[in-house]
Structure formats: structure tokens, C-alpha cells
């Protein structure tokens, strides 16, 4: 997994002239999945640059971060793709991508594109669901428990999650250990548990069609 930090990280570096190269600038929370798709499909022309996954908690940083990353790497690539959905930017990321002339994946957030944007939008009975992905199951303490202060004040669980009814684990991989981890997260939050194997959802098609 590419570790979070304050700078973009590139897997393979820039091509000397950019010919035929594709750069994916994505959320660090998607690094494992993008690299898995790259390996599985033999996408040797595709490079990856990740912005810090913790920006999930600071969406105001995402659009400026994308602008800076595109400016840094544009000269080295024929195509640049953005592996972020809106992710709480209130349309700001879409406007930035339009101005920069780069394409981003559709959807309000990664839960939607992993599940399939159309399928996710149709699930009106999940308005009281809290979601985990593979990444968030692994990083639950770092990205949910500690940032919300629940390590210090576990009594706040009811305040934060009292209106939720279920934790739905959108699983990218069929991993019993991660299933057990996600189930334990649900128990900590006092929520019913559901697991849905989504695979990579719309992310696979987005990279395949444009890469």
C-alpha cells in the first residue's frame, strides 16, 4: 500500500516523452485496487500518482491537490485520469477537472462507483447505512475511530452513529480476514452487519476504457 503523505507518489516515474503513457492521479485509498487492476490486466502503459488518503477527512484539499499534480505531471503523459469521485468537494473537483481538461470517474464517492453508480443510487433503503471498503476496513482505527475521537471518548459512538442501522462492507476482494475485521467494526459501532462483494465496480471499466 502506498503510505499517506503530503506529496504525490509515482509508481514508475515519467516516460521520457510521454508517448502512449497514461497517468492516474488517485486517492491513496484506491492505490491497492488500481495497482491490482494494472497487474491483472497488464497495463504497463499506466502509472499511478496518489494523493493522501486522509484527505477523505479534508475534502477542501482535493481539488487544489489535483490541480498541483496535473501541473506537475502533464508534460510527461499523453493522458491523465483522475481516480476520485466528488468525495465531498461539492462539485469543486469536477469544475477543476473540466478546466484542466482531464477526466474523473463518475459518482459522489468511492462507495458508489465500487457498487456501481446506478445500482447505488437505486438503493433508497440504505440511507441509514455506514459503508466500509477494503481500505477502510483495514484502516478503520486510523480513518474513523481515532479522527472522531472515539479512542478517547467511546461514549460518543451513540452520538455519531445513533441514526445508522447497518454497516455495509463493500468488499473488493473475497478475504475472510477482512470480512472478520469489518464485522468487528460493525460490532464496535453497535450496527447490524452486511457484506456485499462488489469487486472493483465502475473503477475497472473507467480505467480500461480510457487507458
Q: What is the pLDDT of residues 80-109, one digit of tens each?
A: 999 999 999 999 999 999 999 999 999 999
Share of the chain above pLDDT 70, in %: 91
* Alpha carbon distances (Å) from 209 to 5, 43, 44, 141: 30, 12, 15, 35
- Cα separation, 144 vs 141, in Å, equals 6
Sign of CA dihedral 137, 65, 92, 149: positive
Count the residues in the chain.
Answer: 211
- Cα separation, 15 vs 77, in Å, equals 7
Cell of 118: 446506478
Above 70 in pLDDT, residue 11?
A: no
Q: What is the mean pLDDT of the chain?
A: 91
Break the chain into its structural domains and give their ranges: 9-104, 111-197
Q: 176-184 long-range CB contacts below 8 Å, 24 or more apart? A: 178/134, 178/137, 178/138, 181/137, 181/138, 181/140, 182/132, 182/137
Q: Give the model's confidence band at 17: pLDDT under 50 very low, under 70 low, under 90 confident, else very high.
A: low
Above 60 in pLDDT, residue 8?
A: no
pLDDT, tens digit (0-9, with 9 covering 90-100), for 134-168: 999 999 999 999 999 999 999 999 999 999 999 99
pLDDT of residue 18: 54
Amino acid at each position: 500500500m502506498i503510505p499517506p503523505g503530503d506529496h504525490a507518489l509515482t509508481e514508475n516515474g515519467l516516460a521520457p516523452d510521454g508517448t502512449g503513457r497514461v497517468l492516474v492521479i488517485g486517492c491513496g485509498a484506491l492505490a491497492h485496487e488500481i495497482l491490482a487492476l494494472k497487474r491483472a490486466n497488464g497495463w504497463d502503459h499506466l502509472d499511478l500518482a496518489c494523493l493522501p488518503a486522509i484527505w477523505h477527512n479534508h475534502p477542501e484539499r482535493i481539488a487544489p491537490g489535483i490541480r498541483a499534480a496535473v501541473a506537475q505531471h502533464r508534460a510527461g503523459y499523453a493522458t491523465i485520469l483522475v481516480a476520485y469521485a466528488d468525495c465531498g468537494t461539492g462539485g469543486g473537483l469536477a469544475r477543476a477537472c473540466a478546466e484542466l481538461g482531464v477526466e474523473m470517474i463518475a459518482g459522489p464517492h468511492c462507495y458508489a462507483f465500487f457498487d456501481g453508480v446506478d445500482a447505488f443510487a437505486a438503493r433508497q433503503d440504505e440511507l441509514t447505512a455506514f459503508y466500509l471498503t477494503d481500505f477502510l476496513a483495514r484502516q478503520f482505527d486510523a480513518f474513523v475511530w481515532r479522527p472522531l475521537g472515539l479512542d478517547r471518548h467511546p461514549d460518543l459512538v451513540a452520538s455519531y452513529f445513533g441514526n445508522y442501522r447497518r454497516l455495509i462492507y463493500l468488499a473488493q476482494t473475497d478475504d475472510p480476514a477482512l470480512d472478520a475485521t469489518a464485522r468487528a467494526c460493525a460490532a464496535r459501532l453497535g450496527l447490524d452487519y452486511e457484506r456485499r462483494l462488489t469487486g472493483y465496480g465502475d473503477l475497472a471499466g473507467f480505467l480500461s476504457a480510457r487507458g
